[in-house]
Amino acid sequence: MTRIAVTGLGAISALGTSVQDNWQAVADGRGGIARRLVGDSPHGPGALELPMAQVAEGYEAALDAALGHPVAAGLDPFARFALAPALEALEQSGLRAMRCWTSAQRLSSDTAWVAWRRLRPATSGSSA
């Protein structure tokens, strides 16, 4: 049997952009489904208002601040959705302070890993 230790949590959903936001929404009985305008385009058949869950807004700025560089706009949405909670979990664990970014590689997508490789400080003898 393999043992693991959960050292930090991260979450992003329609309820909020952090574990605390999500937990507070659940505790308050708030749902993540709301009526949203979809298909508002001058070339389409017109907009429809439909009930749906969307990721809460504002997480991109927090992601950029956590990384110290504006990277969120350059990542695919699936990579942002993986990297933001991964960084939150690393922050809670204290591993981020030790620059233990290999955990982010395991928890996020290949695209997020490539973005990190581009942004990390160059070290002598590094081929990255």
Q: Give the DSSP letter string of 38-52.
A: E---TTSS--EEEEE
The Cα 80–Cα 66 span in angstroms is: 12
pLDDT at 114: 57
pLDDT at 62: 79
Which H or E run includes 115?
helix 110-119
pLDDT tens for 32-42 read 998 888 877 77
Examine the pLDDT at 3 and tell me if it is beyond 90. no
Distances (CA, A) of 37 to 20, 29, 43, 126: 27, 24, 15, 48
Please write down the HEC assignment for all residues of 52-86: EECCCCCHHHHHHHHHCCCCHHHCCHHHHHHHHHH
Examine the pLDDT at 30 and tell me if it is beyond 90. yes
The Cα 90–Cα 106 span in angstroms is: 12
Q: Residue 27's pLDDT band (boundaries 50, 70, 90)?
A: very high
Give the start-to-end residue ranges of the domains of the chain.
19-119
The Cα 76–Cα 83 span in angstroms is: 11
pLDDT tens for 76-109 read 888 888 888 888 888 888 765 555 444 444 444 4
pLDDT at 56: 80
The mean pLDDT value for 65-83 works out to 80
Q: Nearest to residue 11, comparing CAs of 64, 76, 59, 77? A: 59
Examine the pLDDT at 28 and tell me if it is beyond 70. yes
Residue 83's CB: how many other CB atoms inside 10 A?
A: 28
